Amino acid sequence: MFVRNESFRSFLRSYPVVSGIVTLHLILFLWMFLFPSLGGNLIFILGVGHNLSIAQGELWRLVTPIFMHISPAHFLFNSFSLVLFGPALERLLGKWRFISIYILTGILANVATFYIGGLGYSPHLGASGAIFGLFGIYLYMVLYRKDLIDQDNSQVVITILVIGLIMTFVNARINVYAHIFGLISGAALAPIFLFKLRRYVPQYRHVFDEGEISFNPNRWKNRRFSAGTKKKVFWIIFVLLVILGVIFR
């Protein structure tokens, strides 16, 4: 579910929403940091989450921070997290439901930051609230919709979630409200967005030769690499991202 083995072209074709969000991350990040005099500074000033400005009516700031990042490590960590954990849900939910719950949980995370953080809360931005919203959906699946996720992937979700929550409270620069309420929002909305979905829907395989996509409940048994190898690859990637995040704190 979480190990990506598609070609770049196939990934773009199969997961247009995830690809589009990451592309938007990249465009905004490069624009802000490489071309500040050509509108990059203005994008940052108008887009960053700022509670006092929101209170004065600039409600778009509840949305724009979801797609903006403050540093290379911040951008890479969130974008890679989306690439790892987003595709399975995009295929499970469909394009419109996926983008709807992604943006909605991100907005709710920023709303929580506004009301709990208060007018004096520091400016904030990043996709973390929306990404924790995706984890909220996974958490609901692990607890209440075991028909949609197998045991191995359930263990991965719980492990990554625990690590993510620990990091949330260890790093003083993290928006704790966005992480926690993004997670809560995802779990709360999951019953609505997962309604009537059936067993094995998220377990799929790609037929590259024919350019089609079909579903296969036994996809993990039919792959060339063993499950142990896949887990090792996944953990190596994740540990590297964590190290990168710590280095650039």
Q: Which domains does the chain have, with CATH numbers?
A: 8-247 (1.20.1540.10)
Does the pLDDT of residue 224 top 70, yes or no?
no
Q: Which two tokens stand for residue 132?
A: 């924790």
Q: How confident is the model at residue 23 (pLDDT cuts 50, 70, 90)?
A: very high
Distance of CA 185 to the CA centre of its chain: 13
- Separation in Å, CA 103 to CA 59, 110, 117, 198, 203: 14, 11, 20, 24, 24
Does the pLDDT of residue 153 top 60, yes or no?
yes
**pLDDT of 109:** 97
Digit-coded pLDDT (tens) for 176-193: 999 999 999 999 999 999
**pLDDT of 168:** 85
Distance CA 44, CA 128 (A): 17
Average pLDDT value for residue range 131-155:
93
Burial class (CB in 10 A: 0-12, 13-18, 19+), 138: buried
Q: Which two tokens stand for residue 133?
A: 């919203």
Coil vs helix vs strand at 210: coil
Q: How confident is the model at residue 207 (pLDDT cuts 50, 70, 90)?
A: very low
Amino acid at 44: F
Average pLDDT value for residue range 11-27:
95
Amino acid at 114: F
Q: Provide, rounded to the nearest whole percent, the portion of the chain with pLDDT above 90.
A: 58
pTM across the whole model: 0.80
Give every CB contact of residue 221 below 8 A, 6+ residues apart in sequence: none
Distance CA 68, CA 123 (A): 12
Distance CA 103, CA 129 (A): 9
Which is more confident, 201 or 35? 35
Distance CA 245, CA 77 (A): 7
Residue written as token pair 């045991």: 151
> Active-site residue 19, yes or no?
no
Maximum pairwise Cα distance, the chain: 57
Q: Which two tokens stand for residue 197?
A: 């979905």
Catalytic residue among 179, 206, 214, 226: 179
Q: How confident is the model at residue 202 (pLDDT cuts 50, 70, 90)?
A: very low
Distance CA 236, CA 203 (A): 23
**pLDDT of 88:** 93
Catalytic residue among 128, 154, 214, 226: 128
Q: Which two tokens stand for residue 20?
A: 């589009």
Digit-coded pLDDT (tens) for 49-59: 999 999 999 99
Does the pLDDT of residue 115 top 60, yes or no?
yes
**Residue ranges with strand state E in the chain:** 204-207, 212-215
Q: Which two tokens stand for residue 98?
A: 């996926």
Nearest to 173 by CA among 248, 116, 68, 81: 248
> Active-site residue 179, yes or no?
yes
Give every CB contact of residue 75 below 8 A, 6+ residues apart in sequence: 25, 26, 29, 69
Average pLDDT value for residue range 48-73:
95
CB 93 within 8 A of CB 29: no
